[in-house]
Chains A and B, each alone.
Chain A
Amino acid sequence: MVGTPGVAREGEPGPAARADEHGPVQATLLRALGVLRFVVLANALVLYALRSGDYAHPRLGWVVVAVLAGWTVVAVWAYGRRSWRRAPLLVADLAVGLGAIALTPYVKGEGFSATLPGFWVMGVVLAWAVVWRAPGGLAAAAAVSVTDVSIRDDFTQANYGNIFLLVLGGAVVGFLSILLQQTASQRDRAERAAAAAGERQRLARVVHDGVLQVLALVQRRGPELGPEGAELGRLAGEQEVRLRGLVQTGSSELVAPLGERDLARLLAELQAAHVQVVVPGTPAVLPAETAGEVVSAVESCLSNVRHHVGRDAPAWVLLEELPDAWVVTVRDEGPGIPEGRLEESAAQGRLGVHQSVVGRLRDLGGEATVRSAPGEGTEWELRVPRHPGRREPA
């Protein structure tokens, strides 16, 4: 096929490759265009050979036609190389076409109808359209049209039709070029994402079968080996929880639409040696902003547990899906918060938990309530409406 020498280099993007430029698609379009260029060249050659006897300067005409033929070969080869599809090649391509048109009156003499290159200029316009999109196609078509009109004494209906089709063709092919390249780029990204997710799942299986099992075993066996073993077991347990969280994330990232997050997964990442996170088996998809605020509120509650109950104090986080709301409960078994204490500190200007939990939830159109009794620990209930209608001012 024409233009094949450049194919091997298609994989590497050029130094100034545009984000939506897709090398392989461009190359395919230009290869198809290469075939077209030889067809229109043959057309120009045959027409000239048939009529060269009638022209004023047939020798010069043969030179022009030979240059067109030579340039066609060079151009098809050069367009095949991605790094060469830049301004110098495109401008030279156009210059050859325009030059051939400009020499037409001298070669053919008065009263000519077709230019020397004829339909050959179509190749130039379409190449501009493929590489420089609709604007490129329009610009090249305009340059060719202006040159064509300027060498004529009279302007016929047929000339107008040719120019009109040329401009239209340049714009349409330019538009299709960008559309095809963008589609191909999107497909490539989707394929890469799918491959990455698949690889991640494979890794998760491998990690599960080996590392997680061993970590769990160390955690369980450790305490039987004395205090040092117990410490080892504790460390292994912490790593097990983190690693498990890591290998389990990933697949759902691809499922949630843009701007939304799975609250269940975000909360599950808070799971730690002393924090148990309980979520339903189905994803809880919320707007990303809302989910982020809820997670921040839960983190505030958990940090409160660490400060007021103890660094290693156990805590539980439960996510529930009710018909009209998401409810997150954060519970600890500490001494509890004395009644009126939160309001009191808020009144004293110490915002702390009150601000970061109650304020956050109110801004989301929900509410946060705390239930606490001496000896029964503290239980925060964060309620986020599932269809946020009105937003109460804070």
Chain B
Amino acid sequence: MGQGENDQPDQPDQPDVSDALRVMVVDDHPMWREGVARDLTEDGMRVVATAADGREALARFPAARPQVLVLDLQIPEPRGVEVTARVVALDPSVRVLILSASGEQQDVLDAVKAGATGYLVKSASRAELLEAVRRVALGDTVFTPGLAGLVLGEYRRLSDTPTTAGDDTPRLTDRETEVLRLVAKGLSYKQIAERLVLSHRTVQNHVQNTLRKLQLHNRVQLVRYAIEQGLDDEPLG
């Protein structure tokens, strides 16, 4: 997976982030956790913390203050989706890269809606992982075709659901739909830019917007839910 979007050309303004990039790795499988941590360290990144489950992850996160959280979704409670929501609430600048072995689709979608900006399957190569961590750290979204398909399906589902109060259902523009479809068909951003005669950055922005709208919608829904439940006097994070 993921052959499609990792042939991005080097960005001219890309700083040398690998020197100081602070990464935290969360995975309940020790062999895997150490393997990922070693790959990252060998590449010059700093693994500031590791954790084997959601509880550990949340306990160590505030002190470790990583820039990127590499997170397995299937960890002992609290699960990856909840960990994503909580760390993003604690530190909105953190970037969460989901690393999932079996691609549970709903979990991946929920994690992305909770604020994760990257998704890779575990069978991705070492180079793909390093590239993904760097790009996520830069604020890019790391999309696989699989994630694009899920996001497309989610927008479709949202547009099918009749809205009750006020029409704040996020919708894709025609251009965003077009770009997302091409991502889902396995085209790289570069190929998409060529086909649609757009700049690479524009393609990237369109893709990012699709996620941002979902995440925003998710937050609005959560706030609305909290108010309805009479929890609005409690701080949300």
| Separation of A212 and B28 alpha carbons in the complex (Å) | 13
| Separation of A218 and B68 alpha carbons in the complex (Å) | 25
Residue among A217, A247, A280, A321 with the most chain B CB within 10 A? A280
Query: How near does chain B come to A244, taking the closest CB pair, in angstroms?
Result: 5
Q: Are A219 and B123 in contact (CB under 8 A)?
A: yes
Q: List 14 A-B contacts (CB under 8 A).
A: A213-B29, A220-B35, A220-B124, A276-B145, A276-B146, A278-B145, A280-B150, A281-B106, A281-B157, A314-B186, A319-B149, A331-B186, A331-B187, A379-B185
Whether A320 is near chain B, meaning CB under 8 Å from some CB there, is: yes
Whether B64 is near chain A, meaning CB under 8 Å from some CB there, is: no
Q: Are A213 and B122 in contact (CB under 8 A)?
A: yes
Residues on B with C-beta less than 8 A from A216 are 32, 101, 121-123
Q: Are A221 and B35 in contact (CB under 8 A)?
A: yes
Residues on B with C-beta less than 8 A from A279 are 105, 149, 153
Query: How near does chain B come to A225, taking the closest CB pair, in angstroms?
Result: 12
Residues on B with C-beta less than 8 A from A278 are 145-146, 148-149, 184-186
Given the known interface contacts A208-B74, A213-B32, A213-B122, the answer about A282 and B157 at a Cβ–Cβ threshold of 8 Å is yes
Query: How near does chain A come to B54, taking the closest CB pair, in angstroms?
Result: 15
- B140-193 interface with A by 8 A CB criterion: 145-146, 148-150, 152-154, 156-157, 181, 184-187
Query: How near does chain B come to A143, taking the closest CB pair, in angstroms?
Result: 63
Whether A93 is near chain B, meaning CB under 8 Å from some CB there, is: no
Instruction: Name which residue of chain B comes closest to A215, CB basis.
Output: B123
Whether A248 is near chain B, meaning CB under 8 Å from some CB there, is: yes
Residues on B with C-beta less than 8 A from A204 are 102
With beta carbons under 8 angstroms apart, the residue of B29, B101, B186 that contacts A276 is B186
Whether A214 is near chain B, meaning CB under 8 Å from some CB there, is: yes
- The interface of chain B, by Cβ under 8 A from chain A, is 1, 3-4, 28-29, 31-32, 35, 74, 101-103, 105-106, 109, 121-126, 129, 145-146, 148-150, 152-154, 156-157, 181, 184-187, 195
Whether A118 is near chain B, meaning CB under 8 Å from some CB there, is: no
* Interface 1/0 per residue, A135-153 and B, CB below 8 Å: 0000000000000000000
Query: How near does chain B come to A169, taking the closest CB pair, in angstroms?
Result: 55
Q: Are B152 and A314 in contact (CB under 8 A)?
A: no
Whether A318 is near chain B, meaning CB under 8 Å from some CB there, is: yes
Instruction: Name which residue of chain A comes closest to B129, CB basis.
Output: A220
Given contact pairs A280-B149, A280-B157, A281-B157, a sample of 20 additional A-B residue pairs in the complex whose CB atoms are under 8 Å apart = A204-B102, A209-B28, A212-B102, A213-B31, A216-B101, A216-B121, A216-B122, A217-B31, A217-B35, A220-B126, A240-B123, A278-B148, A280-B152, A281-B153, A282-B157, A318-B149, A318-B184, A321-B153, A321-B156, A331-B186
Residue among A220, A244, A319 with the most chain B CB within 10 A? A220
| Separation of A281 and B153 alpha carbons in the complex (Å) | 6
Whether A3 is near chain B, meaning CB under 8 Å from some CB there, is: no
- A275-292 interface with B by 8 A CB criterion: 276, 278-282
| Separation of A213 and B32 alpha carbons in the complex (Å) | 7
Query: How near does chain B come to A280, taking the closest CB pair, in angstroms?
Result: 2
Instruction: Name which residue of chain B comes closest to A281, CB basis.
Output: B105
Query: How near does chain A come to B32, taking the closest CB pair, in angstroms?
Result: 5
| Separation of A220 and B195 alpha carbons in the complex (Å) | 32
Residues on A with C-beta less than 8 A from B187 are 331
Residues on A with C-beta less than 8 A from B122 are 212-213, 216, 220
Question: SS class of chain B's interface: helix, strand, loop or mixed?
Answer: helix
Whether A237 is near chain B, meaning CB under 8 Å from some CB there, is: yes
Number of interface residues of A (CB under 8 A): 36
Q: Are B123 and A237 in contact (CB under 8 A)?
A: yes
- A189-236 interface with B by 8 A CB criterion: 204, 208-209, 212-214, 216-217, 219-221, 223-224
Whether A175 is near chain B, meaning CB under 8 Å from some CB there, is: no
Residues on B with C-beta less than 8 A from A241 are 123
Top 6 nearest A-B pairs by Cβ distance?
A: A280-B153, A278-B149, A316-B186, A216-B122, A281-B105, A278-B145
Instruction: Name which residue of chain B comes closest to A240, CB basis.
Output: B123
Whether A329 is near chain B, meaning CB under 8 Å from some CB there, is: yes
* Interface 1/0 per residue, A315-334 and B, CB below 8 Å: 01011111000000101000
Residues on A with C-beta less than 8 A from B129 are 220
Instruction: Name which residue of chain B comes closest to A322, CB basis.
Output: B156
Query: How near does chain A come to B129, taking the closest CB pair, in angstroms?
Result: 8
Residues on B with C-beta less than 8 A from A376 are 195
Query: How near does chain A come to B30, taking the closest CB pair, in angstroms?
Result: 10
With beta carbons under 8 angstroms apart, the residue of A209, A224, A379 that contacts B29 is A209
Residues on B with C-beta less than 8 A from A244 are 101-103
Query: How near does chain B come to A322, taking the closest CB pair, in angstroms?
Result: 8
| Separation of A379 and B186 alpha carbons in the complex (Å) | 11
Residues on B with C-beta less than 8 A from A281 are 105-106, 109, 150, 153-154, 157
